[in-house]
Amino acid sequence: MHTQSIADLVVTRAEDGQTLQDFLAARLRLSRRGAKQAIDSRNVWVNRRRVWMAHHLLRAGDHVQPHTQSAPPPPRIRILAEGAHYLFVDKPAGLMTVGTGSVEELLRSQQHAPEMRAVHRLDRDTSGCLMVARTPDDFNAAVSQFKMRRVGKTYHAVVHGRVALRSSTINADVDGERAVTRMRLLRAREEASFLVLRIETGRTHQIRQHLASIRHPVVGDSQYGPKRAPDPLLQSIPRQMLHSSEIEMQDPFGNERLKAHSPLPADFRRVLKMLDL
């Protein structure tokens, strides 16, 4: 396969301590899977030495030289719904919400609207509904709705193990702050279960921490899940199976309800089929 040599990428102070996989994903605007494939192909050099470990830690000043196929064009962010003040977009897994190469940055370029700003955040590997404000005033109005817990957020998740209860509520502080997650079981097998979740609060990693606390961590979650899944099928899943399915909020500028729905992405549906869920 023909490869293309890319000029040295110098690791900055802000990138010190990043893994090679995360560094390449951000710099080349690749998915984490795409970055790992480049590393696995043994076509990446660090300080003139070939490195094939995705979790190799980089230091400021390191020179990284990938020899890879031309980077794919940045993805086009799909708009689910839009109005005068807000857009709801379908965030792909593998992209950060904000920052270099993020959904926010791509959408600003795509819409020719430099003031656009994501109202909330989804983890890099979480897909689905993301709310974006058109202007700073729109952003501030929406944030006030989030702070007053007037926003309904629904997620779907595949978790480890068989969940016993048809419905339950998790009340457990996250980072010292009150957090509430309501969960309902859709389907269950011995190895994994398929859940729908509604959160009353929006703490960082709330769903992932709550599900891990009841010993049903999200499948594919490398931070809160088991280091090694007992089932090889679960071990092979490359990203956390968490999807933001729906957001609903009272329009701060009118009497209408703002609402958007994101269907389950293809990789999520493949996992459900693979696990017979």
Q: Which residues are catalytic, by number?
A: 123
| Number of Cβ within a 10 Å radius of residue 207 | 29
How far are the Cα atoms of 28, 71, 96, 239, 241 from residue 25, in angstroms, in the given order? 6, 11, 10, 14, 19
State how far the Cα of 190 lies from the Cα of 160, in Å rounded to an integer.
9
The gap from C-alpha 74 to its chain's centroid, in whole angstroms, comes to 17
- What are φ and ψ of residue 109, in 5° steps? -70, -45
The gap from C-alpha 249 to its chain's centroid, in whole angstroms, comes to 21
The three-state DSSP-derived secondary structure of 129-183 is EEEEECCHHHHHHHHHHHHCCCEEEEEEEEEECCCCCCEEEEECCECCECCEEEE
